[in-house]
Structure 1
Amino acid sequence: MAESKDFAPRQRFRSNVALSPDGRFAAYSANADGQHNLHVVPVAGGEPRKLTEYTHNAVRQVAWSPDGGSLLYTADFQGNEQFQLYLVDAQGGEARRLTDTVDRQHVLGGSVYDNGAITPFTPDGRAVVYAANDRDPAVQDLLVQDLETGEVRRVESTPGTMLHAISVSPDGRWLLATGFRGNSDNDLWLVDLADPDAPPRVLTEHEGRRLHLPGPWTPDSTAFHLRHDTDGEFVALGLHSPATGATTALVTPPWDVEQVAADGTTTAWTVNEDGVSRLFARRDGELLVLPELPAGVIASLSVVGDVLTFLLTTGTRPTEVVALDLAEGTLRYLTDSAPAVAVTFVEPQLVRYPTHDGREVPAWLYRPRGEGVRGVVVSVHGGPEAQERPLYNYAGLYQYLLSQGVAVLAPNVRGSTGYGKTYQSLILRDFGGDELLDLEHTFRYLASLDWVDPKRIGVWGASYGGFATLSCLSRQPELWAAGVSMVGPSNLLTMARSVPETWRAEMAAWVGDPDTEAEFLLERSPITYVDAITAPLFVIQGANDPRVVKAESDQIVEALRARGVDVRYDVYDDEGHGFTNRANEVKAIGDTAEFLVKHLGG
């Protein structure tokens, strides 16, 4: 019989794949040999070359120099998220470290988790642009570093606005940046690189919460692509002129535009239609006919000439680096991460069910083959401002559970992205509130199905999903048969006081103010209701987690053990908020799977 480890992908990728300026090579970070290292693979096909040999550091973000001769990347140590910048020759060799403040973050692109093309070089390749909190741990500044002299120009930020360097205009004049005040609220900044004394200019001053996500510049440097939700519920695509302040509409679908890539001739973009990525491309004003792609999710889209590269994931195949030839209309997989297990995987089904206030909750249902009454795992995604989509998630956890006769329902409760900014904003300052009622109605929906055993419905999740798991078990103990919490906060008050310093200004608007609303935060915290937990619980934590610190798991485990409750607690000393080491991830997900099968299986 196949084991859970047999369902794990051969490798896992980080957030972006970078296409070389000549369109011949793709660079990415993957952990086929255990840790996330930098690789380069020919777009025409062939074996990848590994350029780094880290065993404890993890390569996170990757970008090519304008001449294609070198690669810039970030890496951290054992998941601590204190990212440093490195430059390495594209043919290999020893990497040159560009930053040396070891206990601070240095990030490329729109954020640490940016999944689009990253363009951190000036057009002449002489300097790189990035953001860092090296001056003040609570403030993230913009930096421009001259690669020849090492000289750094700094644009200082202030607490409450987290700056990110996006790109430099093709003429080398303007640095485009974002200033985030929250996950769904930011402004665009423009820095004049030709005038060191000129103050930055804010391009998108506004009231309320609005999202402005910049993309590629036009070749003449007069405008840049902009994804924004200024005109409605969803993210549209336009061209923004810094000179006039006007945004010309390009694409306005009734869903979010997620990715945009352009090389001056071809523009490509993706639309998130009910969780599935739809790819489009336009050249000379005409839409191109593209081959039909598997129903899944596209990330990190890039284009050079006739070559599109991106990461592609479906519910039945793990993430892969792929190349689409626009001239030939063919899709080529550049990597092979699929497990060799001899099982026919189950495609997820999109379902919806009503919740307490008349809204409908969208969810992905994975039902085991065959007849019989089944147990079910409710899988709650992290974020919470993120989205459950048809992905080969969690090192094959879903497909392994299905092979053992346990179903999976993965809901997008309120706060999830992809369904409009009103739905997303419902989570703000309401952690452990109405979304917990959504999860109660998730249980009710499952219990209404004639093939589900209501006494064998469990819950699991990581990060916010871990918080949701602890909330379910502590505040709805009569419903849930078992739970697994991975890096999940148990106490919103202590979490709000222990997050990275650059996040703290956002806490009041996101979760609640720990200085003035301690009672409110404790009323919403699982730790307050810990004595009600009776279901079997498994807690997993990374010792180096900077976002949900180990004390969050410690306190709920200690409280349960003080009552004599048997709770399993696994701590990974060399991991942070999630996993970078493949062996650790395979073990943790495998242990999670066995725990859930034990308590929910038939």
Structure 2
Amino acid sequence: MEKCRPLQLLLVFACGVCVPLAASSGPDDRQITDPKSVVSPSNPAAHPASIDDLYYTRSMSGAAWSPDGKEIAFTSNMAGRPNLWKVNAKGGWPIQLTQSDDRQYSAVWSPDGKWIVYQQDRGGDELWDLYAIPSEGGEVINLTNTPDIREEGPVWSHDGKTIAFGYKPKEGSQYDIALLDWITHKVHKLTNEQQPGYSWNAVAWSPDDKTIYANRVNPPFTDADIYSIDVSTGKTENLTPHQGTVRYLASSLAPNGQTVLLTSDAKGGYMNVALLDIASRKSTWVTDSKWEASSGSFSPDGKRFSYVINGDGLTDAYIADTSSNQAEKIDLAQGLNSFSGNPNEFAPQSDRVIVSHEASNQPGDLWVYDLAKRHEEQLTFSAVASLSATPLPPAQIVHYKTYDGKTISALLWMPFNLKRDESNPALVLPHGGPTGQVVDYWSPRVAALTSRGYICIAPNPRGSTGYGLDFQKANFQDLGGGDLKDEIAAVDFLKTTGYVDPKKVGITGGSYGGFMTLMAIGKAPDIWGAAVEEYGIINWSTMLKSSDPSLNEYLKAVLGDPDKNRKVYEEDSPITYIRNEKAPLLVLQGGNDPRVPKEEAQQVVEILRKEGRVVDVHYYPNEGHGFEKRENQIDAIKRTIAWFDQYLMGKSGTPNDPTAQKGR
């Protein structure tokens, strides 16, 4: 995630899920799924997964090699909060480096190996500061200490004297690049963006530390360029000038400083990997796919580079030879296989890479892959042991036609032991974004629901990434219009399987998924039996007054000017339709959310209470956009399950499974 900050600026908080790879070479070749081919597997050992087991299973992310290649730092919530840990690269018991109630990401070692720098916010407010801790442990230093400025994504210079990072004032809409002097801790801005909502992010320093290579991205993430920036003067040079909306995104610089590894959709609107020769500005394409390819890093010796291909939400990791561009897929189990490394997944000796693997029924872990031996060793062990004795339904990918003939991909989980008698409950899970995609992440939320008998389907409607730029832009000025119809078409697909009771269909999602939940129960009130929305948008106009300015620019890029397009804002806001809803609604909201402020949730609850509807709300203080603290994650899923159990299954509030005392 460290190399993809522009995506993090969006409203995305998508749940992660798993999918077997579709037998197609690209989005155009997807075959429509026969609903009658969907089956509920038989498993006499099936039982509800313990909530505690699911949420005490740890998360692992943001790995970073030490300069000597002997240790790896990473972020984990082993202690219930995303804090920094490190482990011997050969394996062993991890050591907690930091202990904080707040979340910590983007760890990176100083070139001399003595320090680790990372970002941390306060109560989920996303106003990150940069911190440093001695790599052997010790006193933490706040390097920036600016409560009203975001500082994130640190990148060290080779000489260890300077750190480049992303910089945005709380009330600003643009991300710039700033430099921090390691000795004095003084900060000065390197870029000075004037276009509202545009974002700069530093990718790499040149070998002599005189130049920084960076990406500049527009608000809706439809256009981007790669720049070189003179460190002494701040002068910028566009290395990828072009006409129209094309994305060029650098991810790594070759050790000799002559070549940039990049991702671009210049080939027909589909993201592919290329090598850019800096001197000639000529690009050489490495991949030619309509599935989404993403570039990685050069190895420190320059002999190899990495990339990932996302085929309908399932990813495979590749290592390519620099001299020939021929690539070899890393042979890991089916699932979400990608690289993890800040700033590089390759070990300093270029002999190993860090890869991550997960699937819908397999929590994510980090692995070290030996390039010569072509062999991987598991580095972290995230799952609680009892999960291995709990059968979890795997996901499958399905394709269906929506109202206008477009093909929609969705991830479907069929619980065990269901009868095909139109009696079972089902849930639609709209993802965050809208510029996002449901992919093959482990999701304790989905595992909790499916193991309790809920059929779950998570569509990738128009507006999603992963299917080309035209598809991504297909919901512009139509939020909650065509994309909502794509979600409703998933309900029609489920009904045709013969498993689902049409009166027992619910919907739940967060962020844009929360918006979609509100839009669904307002515009199509007769479809839904119950709903749970998390930190969703009720009114785009009030969002513009209270949300982070950078997100506001994204919103204006998608919906248009709020004065000239007032009708669009009204038609695309759930507040226009919410009084039509019939489904009992539970609202869950972080009290410190900078993206979708709690005022949005308050509006929903106030309106529906005045209408005399069934509505409940719970706020989580010191949580931002999404719930990071383990006790709040557990509380949220318990409330969600109880809500659907009551209004879809007709159950009382008393748990009826043997895991109740372990934290249902």
The TM-score with structure 1 as length reference comes to 0.93
Offset, 1:380:
0.9
Rounded to whole Å, the distance in 2 between the matches of 1:145 and 1:317 is 40
Rounded to whole Å, the distance in 1 between the matches of 2:51 and 2:401 is 36
Offset, 1:585:
1.2
What residue number does 1:344 align with? 391
Offset, 1:287:
3.8
- Tell whether the 8 Å contact from 1:430 to 1:511 is kept in structure 2 after alignment: yes
Match of 1:374 among 424, 429, 441: 424
Matches within 5 A, 1:506-521: 506-521=554-569
Query: For residues 480 and 200 of structure 1, do their structure 2 counterparts lie closer, same or farther at Cα, with a shift above 3 Å needed?
Result: same
Match of 1:246 among 273, 278, 282: 282
- Tell whether the 8 Å contact from 1:162 to 1:181 is kept in structure 2 after alignment: yes
Query: For residues 45 and 583 of structure 1, do their structure 2 counterparts lie closer, same or farther at Cα, with a shift above 3 Å needed?
Result: same
Match of 2:400 among 346, 350, 353: 353
Offset, 1:254:
2.7
Match of 2:227 among 162, 185, 189: 189
What residue number does 1:601 align with? 649
SS at match of 1:73: strand
Rounded to whole Å, the distance in 2 between the matches of 1:419 and 1:216 is 24
Matches within 5 A, 1:361-510: 361-372=408-419, 373-393=423-443, 396-510=444-558
- Give the letter aligned to residue 627 of structure 2: F
What residue number does 2:631 align with? 583
- Tell whether the 8 Å contact from 1:269 to 1:280 is kept in structure 2 after alignment: yes
SS at match of 1:77: coil
Rounded to whole Å, the distance in 1 between the matches of 2:351 and 2:328 is 11
Offset, 1:329:
2.4
Rounded to whole Å, the distance in 1 between the matches of 2:445 and 2:553 is 36
- Tell whether the 8 Å contact from 1:159 to 1:505 is kept in structure 2 after alignment: no
Offset, 1:173:
2.1
SS at match of 2:390: coil
**How big is each residue's C-alpha offset from its partner over 1:475-518, in whole Å with a ceiling of 9 and x where there is no partner?**
10011111111010011111133221233333322233323323
Q: Does 1:214 align with 2:259?
A: no
Q: Does 1:303 align with 2:346?
A: yes
Query: For residues 351 and 289 of structure 1, do their structure 2 counterparts lie closer, same or farther at Cα, with a shift above 3 Å needed?
Result: closer
Q: Does 1:534 align with 2:582?
A: yes
- Tell whether the 8 Å contact from 1:11 to 1:30 is kept in structure 2 after alignment: no
Rounded to whole Å, the distance in 2 between the matches of 1:12 and 1:598 is 30
Query: For residues 82 and 278 of structure 1, do their structure 2 counterparts lie closer, same or farther at Cα, with a shift above 3 Å needed?
Result: same
Offset, 1:299:
4.9
- Tell whether the 8 Å contact from 2:170 to 2:548 is kept in structure 1 after alignment: no
What residue number does 1:168 align with? 205
What residue number does 1:223 align with? 259
What residue number does 2:653 align with? none
Query: For residues 527 and 287 of structure 1, do their structure 2 counterparts lie closer, same or farther at Cα, with a shift above 3 Å needed?
Result: closer
Rounded to whole Å, the distance in 2 between the matches of 1:563 and 1:164 is 47
Query: For residues 407 and 208 of structure 1, do their structure 2 counterparts lie closer, same or farther at Cα, with a shift above 3 Å needed?
Result: same
- Tell whether the 8 Å contact from 1:9 to 1:318 is kept in structure 2 after alignment: no
| Alignment RMSD (CA, Å) | 2.0
Match of 1:312 among 357, 368, 373: 357
- Give the letter aligned to residue 335 of structure 2: A
Offset, 1:259:
4.2
Offset, 1:86:
0.9
What residue number does 1:113 align with? none
Query: For residues 202 and 16 of structure 1, do their structure 2 counterparts lie closer, same or farther at Cα, with a shift above 3 Å needed?
Result: same
Query: For residues 600 and 170 of structure 1, do their structure 2 counterparts lie closer, same or farther at Cα, with a shift above 3 Å needed?
Result: farther
Rounded to whole Å, the distance in 2 between the matches of 1:238 and 1:3 is 44
The TM-score with structure 2 as length reference comes to 0.85
Q: Does 1:550 align with 2:550?
A: no
SS at match of 2:616: strand
What residue number does 1:323 align with? 368
Offset, 1:317:
1.2
- Tell whether the 8 Å contact from 1:353 to 1:361 is kept in structure 2 after alignment: yes
Query: For residues 173 and 335 of structure 1, do their structure 2 counterparts lie closer, same or farther at Cα, with a shift above 3 Å needed?
Result: same
Q: Does 1:125 align with 2:160?
A: yes
- Tell whether the 8 Å contact from 2:543 to 2:552 is kept in structure 1 after alignment: no
Rounded to whole Å, the distance in 2 between the matches of 1:127 and 1:538 is 48
Rounded to whole Å, the distance in 1 between the matches of 2:57 and 2:74 is 12
**How big is each residue's C-alpha offset from its partner over 1:63-109, in whole Å with a ceiling of 9 and x where there is no partner?**
12223222110000110000000121111111222112212211216
- Tell whether the 8 Å contact from 1:405 to 1:601 is kept in structure 2 after alignment: no
**How big is each residue's C-alpha offset from its partner over 1:172-206, in whole Å with a ceiling of 9 and x where there is no partner?**
1211122221223222221112x42x521222233
- Tell whether the 8 Å contact from 2:513 to 2:536 is kept in structure 1 after alignment: yes
Offset, 1:521:
0.8
Q: Which has the higher contact order (CA 8 A, sep 6+)?
A: 2
Match of 1:270 among 308, 316, 322: 308
- Give the letter aligned to residue 428 of structure 2: V
For these two proteins, the number of residue pairs brought into alignment is 587
Q: Does 1:293 align with 2:333?
A: yes
Match of 1:234 among 251, 270, 286: 270
Query: For residues 524 and 289 of structure 1, do their structure 2 counterparts lie closer, same or farther at Cα, with a shift above 3 Å needed?
Result: closer
Rounded to whole Å, the distance in 1 between the matches of 2:605 and 2:560 is 24
Rounded to whole Å, the distance in 2 between the matches of 1:597 and 1:316 is 23
Offset, 1:165:
1.9
- Give the letter aligned to residue 405 of structure 2: G
Matches within 5 A, 1:62-73: 62-73=107-118
Say which is worse superposed, 451-460 or 286-295, in terms of deviation. Answer: 286-295
SS at match of 1:108: strand
Offset, 1:216:
1.4
Offset, 1:367:
0.4
SS at match of 2:605: helix
**How big is each residue's C-alpha offset from its partner over 1:418-468, in whole Å with a ceiling of 9 and x where there is no partner?**
111111111222211111111221111111111111111111100000000
Rounded to whole Å, the distance in 2 between the matches of 1:485 and 1:289 is 39
What residue number does 1:32 align with? 78
Rounded to whole Å, the distance in 2 between the matches of 1:136 and 1:530 is 31
- Tell whether the 8 Å contact from 2:157 to 2:205 is kept in structure 1 after alignment: yes
**How big is each residue's C-alpha offset from its partner over 1:558-589, in whole Å with a ceiling of 9 and x where there is no partner?**
00011121211010011000022111112112
Percent same amino acid at aligned positions?
31
Rounded to whole Å, the distance in 2 between the matches of 1:18 and 1:10 is 24
**How big is each residue's C-alpha offset from its partner over 1:264-303, in whole Å with a ceiling of 9 and x where there is no partner?**
1222221101211111112454544643333224253511
Offset, 1:354:
0.5
Question: Structure 2: where are the runs of 5+ without partners?
Answer: 1-46, 651-664
Rounded to whole Å, the distance in 1 between the matches of 2:491 and 2:122 is 40
SS at match of 2:363: coil
- Tell whether the 8 Å contact from 1:377 to 1:407 is kept in structure 2 after alignment: yes
Offset, 1:146:
1.4
Rounded to whole Å, the distance in 1 between the matches of 2:622 and 2:170 is 27
Query: For residues 77 and 289 of structure 1, do their structure 2 counterparts lie closer, same or farther at Cα, with a shift above 3 Å needed?
Result: closer
Rounded to whole Å, the distance in 2 between the matches of 1:164 and 1:463 is 24
